[in-house]
Amino acid sequence: MFEKFSRSWSLIKASADVLRQDKELLVFPAISAIAGILVVLSFVLPLFSVLDFAALENDPESMPPWLPVWGFLFYLTQYFVIFFFNTALVGAAMIRLDGGDPTVADGLRIARSKAGVILGYAAIAATVGILLRAIEQRAGFVGKWIVAFIGAAWTVVTFLTVPVLVMRDVGPIDAVKESARLLKATWGENVIGQGGVGLVFGLLQFGLIAGTVALAVVLLVNQQVAGAIAIAGIGVLLVLFAALLQAALSGIYSAALYRHAAGLPNHGAFDSTVLASAFARK
């Protein structure tokens, strides 16, 4: 287990080296975040003019029949945006790992060429999300934990779906199946790597938030309102930047993980010795 942990962290550090070479990869998660906010606003704001949320909370049976369809369309649109720009990120990373020098335009071109397949994958993810959400709302305490476990398992199993879509001419269902197959070869690195990135950035964001709140409170106690507002603004920007870094590293990591599992070389920052021993073929 320690050996797998060591290999995974070597791959994560190599992903960071790739990001240092191609800082423009941060553009994709940034655009994705902005587009995601616009999607939320475009779907949520119209509901305030047509729904009585207080009445709906007191009487769930009064839910209009079109609302579940609206919810599905929201999930579908949101997932499409996420997967589109993740495909652009992974596509650009693939060019770098193949020895090239990618641009933002290269990533967007790859994503546009896969738009139809991305939409299909978004429909699958939206369906899974809606079903898990429905089960969670009707399940008890134990049921909620089971749903959370299923959701985590789905995330792990589909981690390589976008790299598969980028590199192969397959449909969304076959891409999910291929991701699940590759999971058998990348189980240790997949779980530890995702968990490692999430843990590091989770702690980083917690530290940033805690530090920001503490400094802001100290300034407010000393009646330095302008300073407290400035610290709060800087803290928010740092947390957002950390989220962008996490998304970019995760995309690069998934690209490198797929390439080695598929027997493709990873040029540049990735140590060939680490990659050569990274996966036990089954």
What pLDDT, on a 0 to 100 scale, did the predictor assign at position 41?
92
pLDDT of 263 higher than 60: yes
Residue 282: pLDDT band with limits 50, 70, 90: very low
What pLDDT, on a 0 to 100 scale, did the predictor assign at position 246?
83
Residue 125: pLDDT band with limits 50, 70, 90: very high
Between 67 and 210, whose confidence is greater? 210
pLDDT of 274 higher than 80: no
Compute the distance between CA of residue 115 and CA of residue 73 in angstroms, rounded to an integer: 17
* Average pLDDT, integer, range 223-251: 86
* Average pLDDT, integer, range 55-71: 72
What pLDDT, on a 0 to 100 scale, did the predictor assign at position 143?
67
* Average pLDDT, integer, range 143-166: 84
Q: Identity (one letter) of the amino acid at 257? A: L
Computed over every residue of the chain, the mean pLDDT equals 81
pLDDT of 281 higher than 50: no
pTM summary value? 0.80
pLDDT tens-digit series, residues 108-119: 999 999 999 999
